[in-house]
Amino acid sequence: METLTVELKERSYPIFIGTDILGQAELIRPYIHGNQVMIVTNETIAPLYLEPCKAALSDFQVESVILPDGEQYKNLDTLNSIFDALLIHRFNRHATLVALGGGVIGDITGFAASAYQRGIPFIQIPTTLLAQVDSSVGGKTAVNHPLGKNMIGAFYQPQCVIADTNTLDTLEDRQLKSGIAEVIKYGLINDYEFFSWLEANMDKLLQRDHDAFTYAVKRSCQDKADIVAMDETEQGVRALLNLGHTFGHAIETGMGYGQWLHGESVATGICMAAHLSALNGDLGQKEVKRIQQIIKNAQLPTESPPELSSSKMLSLMSVDKKNVDSGIRLILLKAIGHAVLSDDYRTDDLQATLNYYCKS
Give the catalytic positions in this structure: 118, 140, 182, 224, 234, 238, 242, 245, 249, 262
Among 74, 140, 219, 249, the residue binding ligand GLY under the rule CB under 6 A is 140
Between vectors from CA 63 to CA 59 and to CA 64, what angle results, nearest 5°?
Answer: 130
CA 333 to chain centre: 20
Write the CA distances from 134 to 34, 111, 163, 290, 308, integer angstroms.
Answer: 28, 16, 11, 23, 27
Q: Does 104 bind ligand NAD (CB under 6 A)?
A: yes
Q: According to CB under 6 A, which residues from 255 to 294 bind ligand NAD?
A: 262
For residues 130 to 169, the per-residue mask of contacts with ligand NAD, x marking binding by CB under 6 A and - elsewhere, is xx--xx--x-x---------x----------------x--
> Which of the choices ligand GLY, ligand NAD, none does residue 248 contact, using the CB cut-off of 5 to 8 A by kind?
none
Task: Find the shortest distance in angstroms from Cβ 175 to ligand NAD.
Answer: 5
Q: According to CB under 6 A, which residues from 116 to 135 bind ligand GLY?
A: 134
Cβ proximity to ligand GLY: between 241 and 298 the closer is: 241
Contact 305, 358 (CB under 8 A): no
Phi, psi (rounded to 5 degrees) for 100: -110, 100
Contact 135, 71 (CB under 8 A): no
Question: How many whole angstroms separate alpha carbon 109 and alpha carbon 29?
Answer: 19
Cβ proximity to ligand GLY: between 86 and 241 the closer is: 241
> Which of the choices ligand NAD, ligand GLY, none does residue 332 contact, using the CB cut-off of 5 to 8 A by kind?
none
Q: Does 69 bind ligand NAD (CB under 6 A)?
A: yes
Q: Where are the beta strands (DSSP E) in the chain?
A: 2-6, 13-18, 36-42, 61-67, 96-101, 122-126, 140-145, 148-155, 161-164, 330-335, 338-342
Task: Find the shortest distance in angstroms from Cβ 158 to ligand GLY.
Answer: 13
- Number of residues assigned to the chain: 360
Half-sphere exposure (Cβ direction) of 258: Cα atoms closer than 13 Å? 10
Task: Find the shortest distance in angstroms from Cβ 140 to ligand GLY.
Answer: 5
Amino acid at 51: E
Among 28, 39, 67, 105, the residue binding ligand NAD under the rule CB under 6 A is 105
Residue whose CB is nearest to ligand NAD in the complex, by number = 103
How many other C-beta atoms can be found within 10 angstroms of the C-beta atom of residue 100? 29
Task: Find the shortest distance in angstroms from Cβ 110 to ligand GLY.
Answer: 11
How many other C-beta atoms can be found within 10 angstroms of the C-beta atom of residue 206? 16
Task: Find the shortest distance in angstroms from Cβ 220 to ligand NAD.
Answer: 11
Cβ proximity to ligand GLY: between 121 and 153 the closer is: 153
